[in-house]
Amino acid sequence: MSITVFVTGGTFDKEYNEITGELYFKDTHIREILDLGRSLLKVDVKKLILVDSLNMTDKDRAEIVQHCINAKSKHILITHGTDTMSDTAKVLASQNISKTIVLTGAMIPYKFGSSDGLFNLGCALAFVQVLSHGVYIAMNGKYFRWNEVQKNKESGKFEKIKL
């Protein structure tokens, strides 16, 4: 089994710029995290964009959709900012792609040491191997179908919503 990982940025990949004191994107850390996790999965990592998901545009989402449709693998993981993860999941679901697509992200940048990113990536990689076709969000150790979850902006937690 081969897994395709599409990187779109999000807190996951943010770093601290010690000159400006601001957070920014330099590059993705997914390969580094996979090495740390001693992953032996066949993973093809492709960086699409590196943006805060609040700045993700419709055009960005259309490109993500196109990449998912074109991907040879049936197992697709997307790293994504948490704020609009549900929006991208919704757009993906509307396409009825016959693949298992799992979106995940992080609340704390991987580079900050105490990140939830390593745990989340582990969860998401496991879910993408075994769940049936569909679009899912993997956060807080759980998986959710794209239409049954939303991020609680106050607590930062992903919660199930009534359908």
Which positions touch its own copies (CB under 8 A)? 11, 16, 18-19, 21, 23, 33-34, 36-41, 52, 107-109, 111-116, 118-127, 129-131, 138-143, 153-158
Q: What tokens appear for 35 in the block?
A: 């090495």
Instruction: For its own copies, give the closer residue by CB, 130 or 163.
Output: 130
The CB-of-141 to its own copies minimum distance in angstroms stands at 4
The CB-of-65 to its own copies minimum distance in angstroms stands at 25
Instruction: For its own copies, give the closer residue by CB, 69 or 156.
Output: 156
Instruction: For its own copies, give the closer residue by CB, 30 or 92.
Output: 30
Q: What tokens appear for 129 in the block?
A: 């191997």
The CB-of-163 to its own copies minimum distance in angstroms stands at 18
Q: What are phi and psi of 13, to 5 degrees?
A: -105, 10
Q: What are phi and psi of 46, to 5 degrees?
A: -130, 120
Instruction: For its own copies, give the closer residue by CB, 59 or 153.
Output: 153
Provide DSSP, 6-55. Answer: EEEESGGGEEEETTTTEEEE----HHHHHHHTT--SEEEEEEEEEE-GGG
The CB-of-63 to its own copies minimum distance in angstroms stands at 24
Q: CA-CA distance, 88 to 60, in Å (whole number)?
A: 9
Residue with tokens 């899912």: 136
